[in-house]
Amino acid sequence: MIKNRKQFSAWVIGLLALSLAGCSEAEVPSATTPGDDPLVNDSTRREIILGFQNKLNIKTAGTTRADAPIATTEENEITSLDIYVFSSDKEEGPYTYQERFCYRSDGSTIPNATKIILTVEGDNVALATLRPKKGLFTKFYCIANQPKLLKAGAEYTNFVALEQSSPGADYNIVTKAGIPTETDFLTFTTPLLDPTEDTDILLTPLPMVGSYSPALDLRDISMGSRTRINMTLSRIVSRFDIINDEKLSHLTITGVSMGHGRKGVTFFPVVPVEDADPDKTLITYPDRDFDGANANKGTQTGAFYSYPSPIADKGYLIIKGKYALNQTDIPQEVSYMVEFEQSVAGTGGYIEVKPNHRYTVRITDADPFKLDVNITVSDWTDGGDFEYQPENELAIGTLTGVGATTIAGNNTATVSPDETEYFSIPFTSNSEAECSIVYTSAAGGSAEWLKTEITPVTRAGSASYTCKVSKAD
């Protein structure tokens, strides 16, 4: 018997994730890059302009917050940019490493990589000019603010360029594959957080990624025009804003961390890292001091950053501080677990912590043993503003049963193990939705005998969904 939402969670609302890389391509007249570029007159190379459609802050040696050319928030700051180029003589691949282009805010160079600079176009676009070799189909993978890549937990530095036989000729082929392969590269991860190191926390500048796909056709060696590719860099971390007024809550927050968190992620796509030992996959993040201009006075933005956390991890924030009901009381040390949950009219479930999303934790009440909070979620927009979507405007309809399934009050369904019987949960939401099942009476094993299927029907102003709950095969 399914008694109510507290015992059976058949839906969890998730918000639309920001596109990892929206790209377009255009041909423009040839131009040169400001500065000293030794490749500018090399006819075997093609000039490519990457236009990043973010309000990025290009931090260079000598700039300050006052004279930064575009957005000046630390979260949009670019101190390093690595563009990894992979090529193939066939559009379908396989693709292997060809070369690397690097930007560093201090103007430094990187061994076995070509130095590039970043310039500004208008108020919103940063431009990177690079000149990859012609002759092949080519892909571009961009990683900002994360120059170190790991393979199987160790830093990877063994980049070897591919070789091609006759660039520009119809019979041109890759005679020696580059290292690594694209397939291998896509498994590389960020440096992994060490929960035993107090200083191993995520801070600005924040790592971002973007890529260009499908491959760009650079086989025609005679073509000399410049090609422009537009893309958006997306942050690979999640952000937590905390709203607390210590005068109202009587709580002074001193530190924030995360339980059941992930150590790192892959870049393309952004997927949390799993340890070979399942018991070591989830960690408790080191504490980050809760400080800033609005700490305990209102909304403290960017109070904490984490890598994404899937629903199954059942992650939670750990908020530490001091509580005193009255000014005459001696403040006592307190620590609270804030689970990643969202509820509507008493029903709900765990929510997924996604990359490039912002989670606003509003503290509504506190005592020495319990902390009451509301959590809202939104995309992390380029301009630094975010939109509240309170409770996702979720509306649950009436359950309907098939066959001998009976529906009673309080959304209670009684269904037999017969696979021909099931029930459906209709609902509407102003954001993308998912259905999942949370078993609270028994963990794993034979208790998990149900499955869900969700069918969306888009309508004006909202989306209508039906979640079908039936017996697993």
How many residues belong to the chain? 473
Segment 338-360 shows an average pLDDT of 77
- The answer, yes or no, to whether residue 63 has pLDDT greater than 70, is no
CA distance 471 to 437: 12
Q: Are 348 and 333 in contact (CB under 8 A)?
A: no
CA distance 320 to 331: 13
- The pLDDT score that the predictor gives to residue 29 is 43
Which residue carries 């040169």 as its tokens? Answer: 32
- The pLDDT score that the predictor gives to residue 422 is 85
Residues ≥6 apart with Cβ < 8 Å to 320? 253, 254, 255, 256, 257, 287, 333, 334, 335, 336
Closest among 44, 45, 76 to 58, alpha carbons compared: 76
Residue 88, CA atoms < 13 Å, CB-side half-sphere? 15
**pLDDT tens per residue across span 426-468:** 887 655 566 777 765 554 455 677 888 888 765 544 467 888 8
**pLDDT tens per residue across span 312-347:** 898 999 999 999 888 778 889 999 999 887 655 455
Closest among 273, 344, 257 to 310, alpha carbons compared: 273
Residue 6's pLDDT band (cuts 50, 70, 90):
very low
**Could you tell me the two tokens for 415?**
């269904």
Looking at 416-455, list the stretches that DSSP marks H as alpha helix, in order from N- to C-terminal side: none
- The pLDDT score that the predictor gives to residue 70 is 28
CB atoms within 10 A of CB 128: 23
**Could you tell me the two tokens for 211?**
């890529």
Residue 343, strand partner residues: 348
Left (φ > 0), alpha (ψ -120 to 50) or beta: where does 77 sit?
beta
**Could you tell me the two tokens for 186?**
């896509």
